[in-house]
Amino acid sequence: MEAFHSSLQLLDAEKRGIEREGQEVQKRQDRHSYRGCALRENIDKQDLFGLMGPIIGMSPDKKTEIPGMQEERTGLRGVCGVGTLPEAECASSPLATSVDRTGGAEDEELTNLNWLHENLLQNFTLGGPEAQPSGSPLFDIEGDYGSSQGPTSSSSSAHSRSRERDSLKSKPPFSFSLLIYMAIEQSPSKSLPVKEIYGWILEHFPYFSNAPTGWKNSVRHNLSLNKCFRKVERSLGKANGKGSLWCVDPEYRPNLIQALKKQHFPAAHAFCTPPASPPRASSPPHHFLEGCSFKESDIDAATAMMLLNSAPGHHVDPCNSDGPLDLSRPDAFLVSSDPKQDHNYSSAALQRCSSRSSSSSLSSLDEGGCDRRQSRRAGSEGFHSDEDSDLWDERGTHQTSRRPPAIKWPVRKRARREAKPELDDELKEAAGSLLHLAGIRS
DNA sequence: GCACGTGTAAACAAAT
DNA sequence: GATTTGTTTACACGTG
């Protein structure tokens, strides 16, 4: 943990150095563009760890212009805002209670995706929030927003309006799984009801505000089918809305992170790259960074931190199914180097996902969806115990006749954790390599 | 061609 | 009874 804090300090120092270079770099980046994106060179690395302020993805003015956004956002304030989710506060599940008790400060640093939204996503925009006329984070992610112009370039207001229109009609470059993941991860309690997932998506991807309502069906479909997501029963004693809370299955969080990065941040393949490979070899492919002003070390720093978070023993996961994690305890964030105390399943999950082609993603996890549902229905008490997990680990039925049971069932979690120490080490080394690449001493 | 991931639509049941 | 939520099935399409 001390090393982590020192890394943060080093990041801060580096950030200041980067900022000094900022203007010079901006000039360079103005000369480049890629798919309409121009990322800030001087990414605030503090932000990478979820220390940022409120979400700035969309200006209120623009949001109010979107039909139907107002009512959707009302229920969202508790999610993206500072407060805690009322439902989650009262949720009876160990997850919700343990998470909500925390206040989430350190948890925010280690697990949330604010860094993604406010940096990776937002910094895809032209020069950051001050320069972006539209609040949509996909504003410049999508390639059809016109050529990128640097923040210092003379992007006319007409051009901005044009891009804004495009942002409203262009589909987000993320799958529903990732959208849901981002929504859930950005919530203080790491769990959201469906309606607030809708709200988050609507707020951050205005495209859906004008899209046919089928996308909500898709969201629900994903939540049900994708075993990355778990249902958490709300508190029975309080009538606080329909349905359940949904959270990210900790076992598949690395997969989601990887899918997220594969979708837009191919530097993520460093996660699957053995540490022996040269650091630069794990740099994002040219097609991605080409023209982007996203310094590779920035990406690496971000991915390194995520990898650290994903690495066994470094992960703080409120959704840990091994039992409620009381994040209010000061030792809740102690970094364990003991594999036996590793409550993270990322290594196996990562291995699973890296075993497939680059297209490996989330729905491969759907193979077990039916079993998950079975166990949900058997007792929808939210999270499974290990025994419960073992149940849906070992049953081998497949969901549909169209999906042959090419089941990559997670093996028993504990057994897997103990059986993959070398993989754990690789992950740690990879994290170290990435941090080193980013100029951070781990 | 095949397997897989993803998106979409539709139907249905249960809950509110 | 209407609406929302959750589940399931089916199909289409793109990709490797």
A375 part of a folded domain: no
- A221-263: pLDDT as tens digits: 888 888 888 888 765 444 456 778 888 888 788 778 777 776 5
Q: Is the CB of A220 under 7 A from strand C?
A: yes
Q: Is the CB of A243 under 7 A from strand C?
A: yes
Q: What range does the domain containing A52 cover?
A: 2-340+427-437
Tell me how many domains chain A contains.
Answer: 1
A215 part of a folded domain: yes
Can you give the distance from the CA of residue A54 to the C1' of nucleotide B5 in angstroms?
33
The neighbouring-strand residues paired with A248 are A229
On chain C, which bases lie within 7 A of the protein's CB atoms?
Answer: 4-11, 14-16
- A78-104: pLDDT as tens digits: 333 333 333 433 333 333 333 333 333
Q: Give nearest nucleotide to A404 (CA–C1').
A: B3
Alpha helices (H) along A67-119 = 69-74, 77-80, 86-90, 94-102, 105-111, 114-115
A345 part of a folded domain: no
Buried b (16+ CB within 10 A) or exposed e, A58-93: bbeebbeebeebeebbeebebbbeeebbebbbbbbb
In the Cβ-directed half-sphere of A59, how many Cα atoms lie within 13 Å? 12
Contacts of A69 (CB under 8 A, 6+ apart): A63, A202, A203, A206, A209
A314 part of a folded domain: yes
The secondary structure of A201-265 as a DSSP string is HHHH-THHHHS-THHHHHHHHHHHH-TTEEEEPPPTTS---SS-EEEE-GGGHHHHHHHHHHHH-
A12 part of a folded domain: yes
- A8-28: pLDDT as tens digits: 454 444 445 444 444 443 444
Q: Pick the range with the lowest mean pLDDT from A65-74, A208-217, A331-340.
A: A331-340
Closest CA-bearing residue to C1' of C4: A242
Q: Pick the range with the lowest mean pLDDT from A116-125, A142-151, A433-442.
A: A142-151
Closest CA-bearing residue to C1' of C3: A242
A367 part of a folded domain: no
Name the percent of chain A lying above pLDDT 90.
Answer: 0
Can you give the distance from the CA of residue A167 to the C1' of nucleotide C1 in angstroms?
39
Can you give the distance from the CA of residue A406 to the C1' of nucleotide C2 in angstroms?
42
Please determine, for residue A40, whether its predicted confidence score (pLDDT) is greater than 50. no
A418 part of a folded domain: no
The neighbouring-strand residues paired with A230 are A247
Tell me which of A30 and A16 has the higher pLDDT: A16
A412 part of a folded domain: no
What is the predicted pLDDT for the residue at A166? 56
Sign (positive/negative) of CA torsion A47, A48, A49, A55? positive
Q: Give nearest nucleotide to A232 (CA–C1').
A: C6
Measured N-to-C along each axis, helices A346-355 and A253-264 cross at an angle, to the nearest 10 degrees, of 40
Please determine, for residue A193, whether its predicted confidence score (pLDDT) is greater than 50. yes
